[in-house]
Amino acid sequence: MNRAMRTPLLACLIAAAVALPAAEAHAQYPFGKNKIQYTAKDWKVMETEHVDIFYYPDEEVLAGFVAGFVEGVYDEYSAYFRVDFESRIPVILYGTHHDFKETNVIPYILSEATLGFTEFIKGRVALPFTGSYYDLERVCRHELVHAFMLEKLRVVMQSHRRYTYQHPPLWFTEGLAEFLGKREQDNEAHMFLRDAVTGNRLVSLPEMWRIDGSFLMYKEGESALHYLATRFGRESIVVLLENWWKSDRFDILLRKTIGIGQAELSEDWEEYLRRRYFPAVLTRRRADEAGTMLSEPERSFDSHPAVLLDDEGHERYFCLGFGLGTIDLKELRLRERGRRRGEGKSRTIIRGGGSTAFESIPILRSHVSGRGDTLLFVAKTGERDAIYLYDPFERKTIERIEVPDARMLNSPSLSRDGRSVAFSAIDDHGRTDLYVYDRPSGRTRRLTDDVYDDLHPDWHPDGRSLVFCSDRCDGGMRGSSALFTIEVETGRIEQITDGSYRDTDPRWLDDGRGMLFSSDRTGVADIWLLEDGVLSRQTGTIGGLFNPVPCPDGAHFLASGFSGGSYRIYQMAFAETARESKRNEPGICGIGWTPVLADSSIERGRRDYRAQFGVDFIGAAFAVDPDYGYMGNGAQIYMTDILGDHQLMFLFGSASDDFDDFWTRLNVAATYYNQSDRLNWAVGAFHLASYMGTFYDLLRFERRYGVVAAVSYPVSKFTRIELSGVFKGMERDDDITFLGLENGKSWLVSSFLSLTTDNIVWYVGGPLKGHRMNVALGNTIDLEGRGYESTTLNVDLRNYQNIGRRIVFAQRFVSRSAWGSDLQLFYLGGSWDLRGYEFRDFAGKKTMLFNNEIRFPLLDRLLVRLPFGHIDFPLFRGALFFDTGRAWDWIEDTGWIGSVGAGVEMNLGYLPVIRLNFSRRTDFREIEKKYRIGFFLGFNF
C-alpha cells in the first residue's frame, strides 16, 4: 500500500484483505505467490445424516461415492471414539488436485504431496480426487480420524471445564489417522520401517520431534499405534484421549493410561521392530550394493529415470529430483573418481517452480520418458498441465502439447516413429483415461473412458499397442493394480497380470518380447521381467525399486530405489539367474468393479450452496508499519464461509484516554473480501484515529473515516496487479505549525496501482533463490483544495542467489518518492533497513536504500536438555552485510551513508527470526571504529 494515504492502519487492513490468500508468508506483504481461482464453481451440497458433502456438478458421481461410504465410516469412528458430533461434518470435494490447490479453506499454497487436510477451527475436511476411488476412500478415512479426535478432545476437556489444552504430539495424531484410516499397514509402510530399522535410522518416540512432518514420522507413528493397540488393546487409545484432562504432559498421560511412559513404550516398540525386520538383511541387499548409484549421495528424492544416447553413442541419464526447494529435471553423471559402488553428480536442466512455463513439475504422479534425442515430461502451466518434448542436449523445447478437455496429464510416451504421444490424463470430471496425440495433425484421441485409474502407458516397438497399469482388475478397490495392453486402433484391452498385487510402471524391452515392471508380489517392491510368458524377479533390495527403464545396451536397466531414507537412481544389471521365476497367469479382463454410490436411504437431500459465515479467529490486533511504527490496537474478528471464498474482517478499538472523546477516537473497520473467482475484490468502511510522531513531525493526531474498494488480478502464480481506491474524510491536529502545517480537515480521494512479481523459493531460514519486485504508484486528490494532495512512487526490488549449499547472497533496492502539497515523509534507519543507525534516524520526501547480505548456516539445530524437558533451537545462521542509503528533499540531504557488519540469528522455523547485528557506520570516507549492536525481531528481507 502507498504511504500517500497517511492511513497506515487502513493500509494494513487492505493489505491483509488483498494479500491473505496469495502470500506464502503473510509477514512478507506485499510479496507472495498467488493462489488462482481459474474458473468459478457452482457449488452444491449433498446431505447425509452426519455429513455435508460440498461438490460442483462435474463431481456429482464422486460426491455420491463419498456419500455411499461416509456414513459407515462415521458409525465406525463414533462407536470407537464414543463421541457424536452436534452438527454435520463438512467434507469439501475437489475433482482434481489442481482444483484442490485452489482451495481457500486455508490460505497457504499446497504442494503436490498434500493429499487432503482437516482444518482445525471449523473441522472442515478437504479432499482431492486423484483418479483412484480406493485412494479417495482411504484419504477420507484418514482425515475423518482427525475430525473425530479433535471432537473427542473438545468434549473431554469441556466436560472437565478445561478450555485450553495441549494437542497430542504430531506422530500420535498422524499415526492414529493412519492406524484407523488404513486398518492395517501396507507394503509402503513396511518399506519405510524396514529401511529405517536395518539402517539404524529409526527415531524413538521421545525424539520424534526431529522428523516432524516427514513421511517417516507418519509411518513410525502408524506402527507405534499398531503396537500400542496390539499390546494394550485398541481401547487403550480411546482411554488415553479420555484421560487428556488429567495432565498437560503426554508422558504422564501414558503412565496414567497404560502404566508405562513414552521412553519405555518406545524401547519395547523398537525391540519388536528389530525382531520383525532384521531377518530381511539375510536375503536382501541395500540398493547401492545391488547396483551403481547415479544420484548424488546427499539427494533425498530422485525418481522417474530416463536414458538417451548422445551423438557419440554414449548413454545419458536423466530424472526428476528435488532441487533447492523445487522439483527439477536433472541430468545424472558418474564422477570420474567415484566410490566403489558409484557416486553420481547432477546438473539442473530445467528448474521447476520458477516460471509460468514450468510452474511445477509433478514428481509423484508422472513419469519422464526418452526417445532418440527427446525427453518427454509434464509441467503445470497455468490452469492445466502441458506435455513437453524437450531436447536436453540443445536445451530447447521441441513441442508443447496441451489437451483442452483435461487438466492433469501424466507419463507421456513417444512412439518409435515419433508421430504419436500416448499419455494418461484426468479430465474435468475426474476420470483418468488413456489418450493418444497425433503430432502431424495435432489431434487427440481418447482410448479409454470409464471409472478406472489408467496410468503410465508405454508404446510397443511396433507402434500398434500400449502397455499400461490400471485398477480395472478384481482387486482394484482394495488397492491392487494389474498390467494391461490396449490395441490403439481397435481399443481392445487384454489383461496380462492377475491383479492380486500392485503391478505398476511397465516398460517394454527394445525387442518387444517382454517388459520390465515394479511389483510388490513378494511384499517388497522389486523389479520383475515378463518375457515369453515367464515372470522372473530381477532384484531383491531391502527398501524397494520403482520406475524401471531398460538401457540401450540391453544388459542394464535404471530404477528409482528407496534406501537410507532417500529415493535415488540406480543402474542395475539384468539377473543372469532369476531369483524367482514362474509362468505368468493373467487374470480375466472385464471382472473389474464399479463404485458404490449412495442410495436414497443414505442421501438426505441436495441443495445449492449459500455462503454462511462463521468465526475463524478472535484476538487482539495491532498495526505496525515500517515507516510509522506503532499505530493502534483493538479487537479483531475474522469470519469466513465454509469454502473460504468469502471473508469478513472487523476491527474494534479506541485511541481515547477517557470517555469524553470516545466516539471521535474510535478505531473501527469492516472489510468484505471475495475470492470466489480469478478477479479478487474487497470493499470496506472505516473510522480510524491515532497519534503519530517522530523527531521530525513531533506529535500529530489524525482521524480518518470513509470507504475503500480494492481489486487484485493474478496474471499468473508469480505476478499480480492490484488496484485500490479510498474515499475518506481527514481531520488533522498538528503541533508544528512553525513548519507551515496547519490544523485542518478535508475530503480526499486516493487511488493506488501496484505490480508484484515473486518466484522465490523458501527455506526454513528464509528466501533461498529467486527474485521479487513491487512497484506501487499512488495519488491523493484533495476535493476541497486545502493542500493535502500528493503523489508517491515506491519501488522494491529483491534478488536471492544460491551460491552454495544454503549460502545465499541477498540483495534489496528500495526507492520511495513523494511529490505534492501535502508533506509525505519516508524514513531510513534501524534494523529494518539501514542497520547501524537509530530507528527512523533520517527522513525525506525521497529515500533510496541498497542492502547486500551473504547468509550462511552456523548450526542446524541446538538442543538444550533441562530437568523438566528440552528446548530446541532449530537453526542458527550468520550473515555479512553492507548497507547504503540516502534521504533528501526536506530538511537536509544526508548524502550517501552506509554501514558494514555481521549478524547472527536464531531462526524459529517459519516464525520471525531473532537477530543481533554488529555494525560500523561509514560515510564512505572512513569507517568508524565503534561497533554498534542492534536487535531485530521479524522477517529478513
Over the stretch 504-522, which tens digit does the pLDDT of each residue have? 999 999 999 899 999 999 9
pLDDT at 634: 61
> Does the pLDDT of residue 764 top 60, yes or no?
yes
- Which residue in this structure is represented by grid cell 547415479? 294
Q: 295 or 621: whose pLDDT is higher?
A: 295
The whole-chain average pLDDT of the chain stands at: 86
Cβ-proximal residues to 61 (8 Å cutoff; 6+ apart), any chain = 429, 430, 451, 595, 597
> Does the pLDDT of residue 740 top 50, yes or no?
no
> Does the pLDDT of residue 660 top 80, yes or no?
no
Averaged over 879-883, what is the pLDDT? 96
Averaged over 407-425, what is the pLDDT? 95
> Does the pLDDT of residue 289 top 50, yes or no?
yes
- Is the pTM for the entire model greater than 0.75? yes
> Does the pLDDT of residue 817 top 60, yes or no?
yes
How far apart, in whole angstroms, are the C-alpha atoms of residue 921 and residue 723?
A: 39
Nearest to 671 by CA among 656, 682, 659: 682
Averaged over 598-605, what is the pLDDT? 80
Quote the cell numbers at residue 668.
Answer: 473501527
pLDDT at 439: 95
pLDDT at 876: 86
> Does the pLDDT of residue 310 top 60, yes or no?
yes
Count of CB atoms situated within 10 Å of the CB of 792: 23
Dihedrals phi, psi of 27, to nearest 5 degrees: -70, -10
Decide: 376 and 415 in contact? Cβ < 8 Å: no
CA distances for 700 relative to 731, 735, 737, 823, 837, angstroms: 11, 7, 11, 13, 24
Nearest to 122 by CA among 158, 79, 92, 142: 92
- Which residue in this structure is represented by grid cell 541387499? 285
How far apart, in whole angstroms, are the C-alpha atoms of residue 297 and residue 663?
A: 67
Looking at the chain, the whole-number percentage of residues with pLDDT higher than 70 is: 87
Averaged over 906-919, what is the pLDDT? 80
Is the Cα dihedral 266, 269, 271, 277 positive or negative?
Answer: negative
pLDDT at 9: 31
Looking at the chain, the whole-number percentage of residues with pLDDT higher than 90 is: 61
Averaged over 772-779, what is the pLDDT? 95
- Tell me the three state secondary structure of residue 367: coil
User: Counting beta carbons within 10 angstroms of the beta carbon of residue 359, is it exposed (0 to 12), middle (13 to 18) or buried (19 or more)?
Assistant: buried
Q: What angle do CA 437, 442, 445 make, to 5 degrees?
A: 40
How far apart, in whole angstroms, are the C-alpha atoms of residue 811 and residue 33?
A: 19
> Does the pLDDT of residue 628 top 50, yes or no?
no
Q: How confident is the model at residue 910 (pLDDT cuts 50, 70, 90)?
A: low
User: Counting beta carbons within 10 angstroms of the beta carbon of residue 695, is it exposed (0 to 12), middle (13 to 18) or buried (19 or more)?
Assistant: exposed
Averaged over 56-70, what is the pLDDT? 92
User: Counting beta carbons within 10 angstroms of the beta carbon of residue 272, is it exposed (0 to 12), middle (13 to 18) or buried (19 or more)?
Assistant: middle
How far apart, in whole angstroms, are the C-alpha atoms of residue 470 and residue 719?
A: 39
Helix and strand numbers, DSSP H then E, in the chain = 12, 52
Bridge partners of 560, per DSSP, are 546, 569
Tens-place pLDDT, residues 242-270: 999 999 899 999 999 999 999 999 999 99
How far apart, in whole angstroms, are the C-alpha atoms of residue 488 and residue 814?
A: 59
pLDDT at 555: 92
Q: How confident is the model at residue 768 (pLDDT cuts 50, 70, 90)?
A: confident
> Does the pLDDT of residue 298 top 90, yes or no?
no
pLDDT at 71: 94
pLDDT at 13: 33
Q: How confident is the model at residue 630 (pLDDT cuts 50, 70, 90)?
A: very low
Lowest mean pLDDT segment, chosen from 55-59, 723-727, 934-938: 934-938
Averaged over 56-76, what is the pLDDT? 93
Q: What angle do CA 562, 553, 577 make, to 5 degrees?
A: 65
Tens-place pLDDT, residues 797-809: 999 998 877 899 9
Q: How confident is the model at residue 636 (pLDDT cuts 50, 70, 90)?
A: confident
Lowest mean pLDDT segment, chosen from 368-377, 591-600, 701-710, 799-808: 591-600
Count of CB atoms situated within 10 Å of the CB of 619: 8
Q: 578 or 442: whose pLDDT is higher?
A: 442
How far apart, in whole angstroms, are the C-alpha atoms of residue 412 and residue 468?
A: 12
> Does the pLDDT of residue 179 top 50, yes or no?
yes
pLDDT at 615: 83
Q: What angle do CA 116, 119, 121 make, to 5 degrees?
A: 175
How far apart, in whole angstroms, are the C-alpha atoms of residue 308 and residue 884?
A: 51
> Does the pLDDT of residue 693 top 80, yes or no?
no
CA distances for 519 relative to 499, 522, 525, 906, angstroms: 11, 8, 5, 46
